[in-house]
């Protein structure tokens, strides 16, 4: 039996552009899944999704006209129930066979053909029936209904079908948008399926204004994309249309001159691809006077409101040119260009007005207004939140001043941190951030500079939201680091303290992102802070009785984020566990060096044996009482323990010196010289000797060794 290719298209009114790519892929993949499940498509069938603003379609190769028949074994009943003492069929068995449609014209032969097989402790009778394979007409009907039912539709519409029935609501249909056409071709033959009140044919509609013919007739499943492109002026493939937009944007920028670059936001590209059927990029411009407004405002206005692509120069500065992706290609595009330029002007004028109005009030004058802005009904206002952030930031700055006294001017840091923390949220009350919440922090930085507060405070206000997303940069200066850390810790403690923990995919307060920000700042920047003390001082900033004690839960949450962050950096789970469980690890900023040392150590031939010995030592000491890392020379009796002690006197000082010098890799590699002595010790020495003094001395020897071995990393985590 030969196969052919299948094409299915659902023609609808304009689909949600932000969801179009996902809808197209889901439609095609679910169709293929359902056809494969019925044996109508193979694992080798190639699935090609199509999605344009007014259609969802799928091309599936190597589809069968009818699935192969399938043998299905069915358990009937225990042999003792189905057969009498003479081995003849009982009435119960005959009735069961009749219900299954078995041929009972010769009951003896039918019963004799039944299989007997063990079923637990008993024997059972099995009937092998042959199920006829599904035809494409029936199978595609089922697959299409399932695919539509499982579409990830953002919001369903209810609409009426055209009908002769006078009863209201008789033909109500629910779908993402009203559907107007269904196309289903198997090769060149129409598959007679029905869905959403539509019957499949071989016709569709092209571009609203530029199609060469209407309707567009598709002669063969394989000619769909070509015919729709030539006769319908539609690029059906989402990926091809997106690629065409990117290419046209790049070419338009190049034609304007050297240095011009397009700001291509991925989300905007996908949305615009979902808005046009055949893209045509045009160059537009606006008045240079608007360039006095911060470019972030203008860029966001053009991207979010107008779906335009801004152009910057070689230095990254916004220019007065921008690109529009039009859905029509007139011979004279001047009307389209002029229309877009007229539309964008009032938007830019609004941004200019907001910017000018906001600068009439200082950030400091807005502080009092934060007390009237609700942050959370259980955690109070933004004003109360700011005071908590100030308290946390003050403590963090104090710790940094104490521990990095020669590097950090503690008094100056405290003063700048307090000012930045107090003003960090004030731009929430500005007109610009009210219009564009995405600019919070960014506008605060601009307004701080306008108020003469200096770069340290301005940068800190802008940066305290960083990192805003995965891969985002960290705050640029110490003031920003402290305020950002305080802000994220306040959010984490507050939400954990009232029980608002993330569950599954739900994380409405972005606590995972906040925790990752804390992790990154502690790991990537030299901050002399331990996460345990940070969570506790942050919880201490809240009023008594406001929160539940969730320190332990938050600590575990941060550790899990740390592990995930390090694993994403390319390290294995054992390497990560070894590094973060190092003895007396306080500052996470040393973890990258420890990880590098662990990886280098793991490559040594001595590593497996030493890791296994480390684990064995840990298990021995866990079962012992409190052990003192002290060794008495007079109690060393066995040659192997004397040899190990001597080797330790030679190796451990060198390893310690390397560790204190920051050479973690060299410190671990120095320990490799102990392998022979450690192996000999466990082969020739009974650690838990009957004599108490010998036992305690040997445990003390091992405790000294364990502390030295686990200074850089917990090597037992590397043991198989």
What pLDDT was estimated at residue 65?
Answer: 92
* Matching residue, tokens 């840990």: 618
149 shares a domain with 108: no
195 shares a domain with 52: yes
Mean pLDDT over 519-538 rounds to 92
Query: How does pLDDT run across 594-619, given as a tens digit for each residue?
Result: 999 999 999 999 999 999 999 999 99
Show Cβ contacts of residue 477 under 8 Å, excluding neighbours closer than 6 positions: 456, 459, 460, 463
Residue 170 — very low, low, confident or very high, per pLDDT cuts 50/70/90?
low
Residue 579 lies in a domain: no
Separation between Cα atoms, residue 388 and residue 611, nearest integer Å: 45
Computed from CA positions of residues 421, 425, 427, 432, in that sequence, does the dihedral angle turn out positive or negative?
positive
549 shares a domain with 672: no
DSSP state of 305: I
- For the ranges 18-22, 150-154, 237-241, 339-343, the lowest mean pLDDT is seen at 150-154
Residue 258 lies in a domain: yes
pTM, rounded to two decimals: 0.81
DSSP 237-274: -HHHHHHHHHHHHHHHHHHH-TT-EE---HHHHHHHHT
What pLDDT was estimated at residue 407?
Answer: 57
Query: How does pLDDT run across 404-415, given as a tens digit for each residue?
Result: 655 567 788 999
What pLDDT was estimated at residue 1?
Answer: 63
Q: Per-residue pLDDT for 168 more than 60? A: no
* Matching residue, tokens 């091309």: 59
Residue 371 lies in a domain: no
Percent of the chain predicted with pLDDT > 70: 98
244 shares a domain with 211: no
- For the ranges 70-74, 301-305, 345-349, 372-376, the lowest mean pLDDT is seen at 70-74
Query: How does pLDDT run across 340-352, given as a tens digit for each residue?
Result: 999 999 999 999 9
Residue 512 lies in a domain: yes
Residue 119 lies in a domain: yes
DSSP state of 15: P
223 shares a domain with 325: no
What pLDDT was estimated at residue 448?
Answer: 97
The whole-chain average pLDDT of the chain stands at: 92
Structural domain of residue 187, as residue ranges? 3-67+135-232
Mean pLDDT over 386-400 rounds to 94
Query: How does pLDDT run across 82-141, given as a tens digit for each residue?
Result: 888 888 888 888 888 888 778 788 888 888 888 888 888 888 888 887 778 889 999 999
44 shares a domain with 158: yes
Query: How does pLDDT run across 276-334, given as a tens digit for each residue?
Result: 999 999 999 999 999 999 999 999 999 999 999 999 999 999 999 999 999 999 999 99
Residue 635 lies in a domain: yes
Mean pLDDT over 180-204 rounds to 95
How large is the angle between the packed helices 410-423 and 455-463, nearest 10 degrees?
A: 50
What pLDDT was estimated at residue 584?
Answer: 84
Separation between Cα atoms, residue 57 and residue 41, nearest integer Å: 17
Residue 380 lies in a domain: no
């Amino acid at each position: 039996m030969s196969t052919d290719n299948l094409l299915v298209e659902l023609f609808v009114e304009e689909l949600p552009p932000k969801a179009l790519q996902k809808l197209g892929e889901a439609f095609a993949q679910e169709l293929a899944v359902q056809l494969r499940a019925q044996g109508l498509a193979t694992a080798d069938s190639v699935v090609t999704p199509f999605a344009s603003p007014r259609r969802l379609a799928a091309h599936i190769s190597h589809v069968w006209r009818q699935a192969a028949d399938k043998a299905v074994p069915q358990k009937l009943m225990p042999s003792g129930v189905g057969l009498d003492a003479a081995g003849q069929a009982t009435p119960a068995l005959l009735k069961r066979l009749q219900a299954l449609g078995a041929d009972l014209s010769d009951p003896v032969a039918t019963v004799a053909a039944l299989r007997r097989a063990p079923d637990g402790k008993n024997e059972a009778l099995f009937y092998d029936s042959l199920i006829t394979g599904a035809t494409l007409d029936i199978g595609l009907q089922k697959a299409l209904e399932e695919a539509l039912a499982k579409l990830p539709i953002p919001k369903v519409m209810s609409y009426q079908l055209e009908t002769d029935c006078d009863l209201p609501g008789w033909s109500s249909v629910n779908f993402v948008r009203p559907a107007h056409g269904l196309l289903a071709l198997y090769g060149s033959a129409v598959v007679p399926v029905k869905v959403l009140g539509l019957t499949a044919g071989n016709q569709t509609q092209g571009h609203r204004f530029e199609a060469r013919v209407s309707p567009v007739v598709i002669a063969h499943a394989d000619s769909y994309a070509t015919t729709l492109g030539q006769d319908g002026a539609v690029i059906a493939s989402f990926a091809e249309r997106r690629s065409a937009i990117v290419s046209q944007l790049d070419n338009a920028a190049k034609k304007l001159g050297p240095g011009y670059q397009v700001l291509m936001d991925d989300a905007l590209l996908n949305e615009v691809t979902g808005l046009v059927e055949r893209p045509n990029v045009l160059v537009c411009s606006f008045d240079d006077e608007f360039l006095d407004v911060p470019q972030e405002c203008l860029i966001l206005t053009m991207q979010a409101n107008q779906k335009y692509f801004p152009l910057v120069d070689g230095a990254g500065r916004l220019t007065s040119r921008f690109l529009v992706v039009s859905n029509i290609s007139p011979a004279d595009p001047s009307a389209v260009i002029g229309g877009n330029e007229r539309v964008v002007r009032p938007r830019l004028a609004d941004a200019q007005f907001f910017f000018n109005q906001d600068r009439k009030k200082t950030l400091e004058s807005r502080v009092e207004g934060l007390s009237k802005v609700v942050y959370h009904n259980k955690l109070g206002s933004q004003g109360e939140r700011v005071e908590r952030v100030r308290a946390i930031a003050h403590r963090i700055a104090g710790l940094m001043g104490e521990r990095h006294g020669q590097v950090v001017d503690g008094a100056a840091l405290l003063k700048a941190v307090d000012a930045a923390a107090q003003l960090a949220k004030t731009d929430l009350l500005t007109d610009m951030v009210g219009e564009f919440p995405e600019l919070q922090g960014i506008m605060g930085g601009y307004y701080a500079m306008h108020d003469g507060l200096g770069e340290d405070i301005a940068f800190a206000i802008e940066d305290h939201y960083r990192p805003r997303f995965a891969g985002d940069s960290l705050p640029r200066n110490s003031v920003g680091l402290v305020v950002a850390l305080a802000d994220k810790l306040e959010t984490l403690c507050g939400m954990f303290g009232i029980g608002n923990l993330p569950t599954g995919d739900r994380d409405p307060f972005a606590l995972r992102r906040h925790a990752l920000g804390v992790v990154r700042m502690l790991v990537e920047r030299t901050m002399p802070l331990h996460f345990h003390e940070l969570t506790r001082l942050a919880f201490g900033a809240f009023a008594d009785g406001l929160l539940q004690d969730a320190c332990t839960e938050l600590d575990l949450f941060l550790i899990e984020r740390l592990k995930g962050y390090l694993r994403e950096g390319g390290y294995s789970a054992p390497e990560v566990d070894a590094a973060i469980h190092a003895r007396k690890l306080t500052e996470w900023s040393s973890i990258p060096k420890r990880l590098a040392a662990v990886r280098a150590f793991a490559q040594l031939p001595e590593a497996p044996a030493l890791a296994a010995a480390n684990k064995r030592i840990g298990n021995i000491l866990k079962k012992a009482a409190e052990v003192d890392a002290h060794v008495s020379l007079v109690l060393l009796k066995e040659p192997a323990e004397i040899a190990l002690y001597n080797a330790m006197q030679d190796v451990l000082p060198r390893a310690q010196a390397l560790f204190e010098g920051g050479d973690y890799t060299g410190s671990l590699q120095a320990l490799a010289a102990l392998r022979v002595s450690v192996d000999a010790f466990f082969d020739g020495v009974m650690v838990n000797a009957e004599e108490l003094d010998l036992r305690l001395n040997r445990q003390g020897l091992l405790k000294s060794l364990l502390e030295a071995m686990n200074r850089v990393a917990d090597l037992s985590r590397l043991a198989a």
